[in-house]
Amino acid sequence: MDSMEFLHSGRIFTLFFVEDLAFAEVRAILDELLAQEAFRIEVQEERNPFMIEAESSSFRVWVSDMRVAIERL
């Protein structure tokens, strides 16, 4: 599993992924997570993993603090 730091919307996220992702996919996933308030601990406890549709693909996404693990389905 690879990891990388990613700056988006003024925040630094640590991304974990197995296969390469396009920047557009990553931005769309993070935008959707932000819209769902996924970086609030209360939301993480209720809704992990998150199912996200982005850029014509489906993803299963786990969030812990500012760490984001992404799996393409």
Domain limits of the chain? 2-72
> How sure is the predictor about 52, in pLDDT bands with cuts at 50, 70 and 90?
very high
Is the whole model's pTM more than 0.75, yes or no?
yes
Mean pLDDT of 49-70: 94
Contacts of 42 (CB under 8 A, 6+ apart): none
Long-range contacts, 26-34 (Cβ 8 Å, 24+): 26/70, 28/52, 28/54, 28/55, 29/54, 29/59, 29/61, 29/68, 29/70, 30/6, 30/68, 33/61, 33/63, 33/68, 34/9
Whether 2 has a pLDDT exceeding 90, the answer reads no
